[in-house]
Structure 1
Amino acid sequence: MADNPTLAQWQLAQELRQLRGERKFGDVVKAMRTAPSSLSRWETPGDGGAVPGPAAIERLLSLYGASEELDRLLALRKQAREPDRWQPYELERSYRSYANIEAQATSVEMYQSQLIPGLAQTEAYARAVIEATMRPDSDLDREVQVRLTRQEVLTKTAPPEVWMIVAEAALRQRIGGGGLMAEQLDHLVELAALPNVTLQVLPYSAGAHAALTLASFSILRVDHHGLVTVYLQGPSSHMFMSSAENVEHYAGTFNRLRASALDDGKPTLKLLRGIADEHRQHKD
């Protein structure tokens, strides 16, 4: 059984697609007397998906000769429609899905070219970033609290393995003043000491690298659900990419970034401390 509504919807969609097997999509649409878009959304995990009603699930399973799965899939459907911990925060749908998957992830690999990753931000840094970029109708305190709550995943029981690659430019961008940035980089040094966190810096000296045209991406894995997805975050849009081709592409990109970045440990920590000292000399 899934652990939260997002994972329940992903699991339900994947299982419905697997149960269809080799049956032609059009034949199932015709037999169900439903719109092609409905069946497509029922089989799509994530933001483009939809949760079918109980009657639709029962008819699909009867068509597939899998009625013995009805109680289990109806339980998944019920869980997929339950409220989650993020409901009071009124998050945009894809961000809410990301937070739910992140909370149950086995591993998270992330690259950031312009900002410190959200999981590693201090409250002051997060507040400065959100205040500078949020929409006029956003609630600053609420958005900061969401970010801080997400960070609990790093120190929970059985935390995910988290691998962060941060471009040097993100470390030097003086957000909120020199003192704030020095504290932020000191915090990165502390996080790097956690047994489940690996931190690398991609230095300017790396030159041309595999993610030159990318601002940021994350690869999330939830092993006990067989879920692997890539999350892309842009200035005005967010999206999941879960096809085998896309996952393979971004996993390969991340592996090449690992090779281009400074080794975790002394080289990365030395650069972090050096840049932090530079920021301290420019306190505002």
Structure 2
Amino acid sequence: MPTRRAVTGRSREPRARFAEELRHLRTARGDSLRQLGERLGWDWSLFGKMEKGETVGGPEVVEALDQHYGTPGLLLALWELAISDQTQFKERYRRYMALEAEATSLWHFAVSVVPGLLQTPGYARELLVAGGLRGDALEQQVEARMGRRHLLTGDDPPPFRTILSETVLRTTLRSAQEWRAQLEYLAEAGERPNLTLQILPQEAGLHGLSSTDVWFLRLQDTRTVAYTEHGYGGELHEESVTVERMQRAYDAMRDLALSPAESRKFILRMLEELSCDPSTST
């Protein structure tokens, strides 16, 4: 049995810890992903996704890995923690959604994708398909995401500020028609009295939120909470010290962004470019 290593310096997040252990054990053996797949009888791409944290796999494959590496019960225990953490993530997200619904104001920064509250159905569908959803589950998620937009369009909507990295607008959809609809929706949304939309140009350079999508919610009790997210999870932050540190980074980054008027012109120029580009015609 391999010598047990100290956890110091390794990830404490269960899903990431599980993925790290899988990578370490395979590379220590000198196996490629293809070789591992051939030896265990599973598609090698599954192991690649597990090592990237995109999936945790099922108990059968984890038990087979434990046997292959001579680590009886170790990987299965880490897998169970990763599964538990997924459940905890869902609970944290439900709490965030409840807080979002009662927030008195919201402000947000997007690194690479349009925020759900401003997505068109076509944008939401392509993004969710890229994440692996299909069939009824896909349509349910698209419908749920469109339902969230009522928060900003219903009666007495809360003030909402969003700053989109220019990368968001340079990452187009496969369908030029759907991408045009998304840009038009953003241009229209920026004119609503309760919504402030700004673009952070690429030449602004690095800043304190360069790799972080973040939402700030001002609650009725005057507290502010933050929610950071990435493609495979998110974290709700309620500690005042952490939230204040992220708010300072947000304020500094906002100073680098285009004004709302300049941002709308930026989006309209992109629409003009799209209309003039023959390769995007449908």
Please say whether Structure 1 and Structure 2 have the same fold, judged by a TM-score greater than 0.5: yes
The question of whether the paired residues in 2 share the 8 Å contact of 1:102 and 1:220 is answered with: yes
Q: Which one-letter code corresponds to 1:206 in the other structure?
A: A
1:256 aligns with 2:256: no
8 Å CA contact 2:218, 2:224 repeated in 1: yes
Deviation at 1:245, TM superposition (A): 0.7
1:234 aligns to 2:227 (yes or no)? no
- Superposed displacement of residue 96, structure 1: 2.2
Measure the CA separation in 2 of the matches of 1:134 and 1:110. Answer: 25
What is the identity, as a one-letter code, of the residue corresponding to 2:102? Q
Q: Could you list the per-position Cα deviations for residues 89-122 of structure 1 after superposition, in whole angstroms to 9, with x for gaps in the alignment?
A: xx93233222221111111111001001111111
Question: Aligned partners of 2:134 and 2:185: how far apart in 1?
Answer: 29
Structure 1 segment 115-264 matched on structure 2, within 5 A: 115-135=113-133, 139-214=137-212, 216-222=213-219, 224-264=220-260
Q: Which residue pairs with 1:113 in the alignment? A: 111
Contact 2:111/2:211 (<8 A) preserved: no
User: Deviations 1:220-270 (Å, cap 9, x if unpaired)?
Assistant: 111x233321101122221101111111011111111210100111x1011
Contact 1:119 1:150 in 2 (8 A): yes
User: Could you list the runs of 5+ residues in structure 2 that have no partner in the other structure?
Assistant: 1-88
Is 1:270 aligned to 2:265, yes or no? yes
Could you give the per-residue CA deviations for residues 41-93 of structure 1, whole angstroms, max 9, x where no partner exists? xxxxxxxxxxxxxxxxxxxxxxxxxxxxxxxxxxxxxxxxxxxxxxxxxx932
CA distance in 1, matches of 2:178, 2:154: 26
- In percent, how many aligned pairs have the same letter? 28
Give the drift of 1:164: 0.2
**C-alpha contact 1:181 1:276 (8 A) present in aligned 2:** no
Is contact 1:130-1:140 (8 Å) kept?
yes
Task: Flag the 1:236–1:199 CA change in 2: closer, same or farther, 3 A.
Answer: same
Q: Which residue number in structure 2 is paired with residue 13 of structure 1? A: none
Which stretch shows the higher mean deviation, 272-281 or 189-198?
Answer: 272-281
1:136 deviates by 6.5
Give the deviation of 1:189 after TM superposition: 0.8
Partner Cα distance (1:138, 1:109) in 2: 32
C-alpha displacement at 1:159, in angstroms? 1.2
Instruction: Please state how far the C-alpha of 1:179 moved relative to its aligned partner.
Output: 2.1
The reply on whether 1:279 has 2:274 as its aligned counterpart is yes
User: SS where residue 216 of structure 2 aligns?
Assistant: strand
Q: How far apart are residue 137 of structure 1 and its match? A: 9.0
* 1:7-86 superposed matches below 5 A: none
TM-score w.r.t. the length of structure 2 is 0.64
Instruction: Please show how residues 88-99 of structure 1 align to structure 2 within 5 Å.
Output: 92-99=90-97
- AA at the equivalent of 1:268: S
Counterpart of 1:235, as a letter, is G
Per-residue deviation, 1:191: 0.5
C-alpha root-mean-square deviation of aligned residues, in Å?
Answer: 1.9
> d(CA) in 1 for partners of 2:192 and 2:209?
26
Runs of 5+ consecutive residues of structure 1 not aligned to the other structure: 1-90
Match of 1:160, as an amino acid? P
Q: Which moved more, 1:111-120 or 1:203-212?
A: 203-212
Q: Secondary structure at the match of 2:217?
A: strand
| Residues 209, 260 of structure 1: 8 Å contact kept | no
Inter-partner Cα distance in structure 1 for 2:122 and 2:134: 20
Q: Please state whether the residue corresponding to 1:153 is helix, strand or coil.
A: helix
Q: Offset at 1:172? A: 1.3
Displacement of 1:135 in angstroms is 4.9
- State how far apart, in whole Å, the 2-side matches of 1:279 and 1:118 are: 23
TM-score normalised by L of structure 1:
0.63
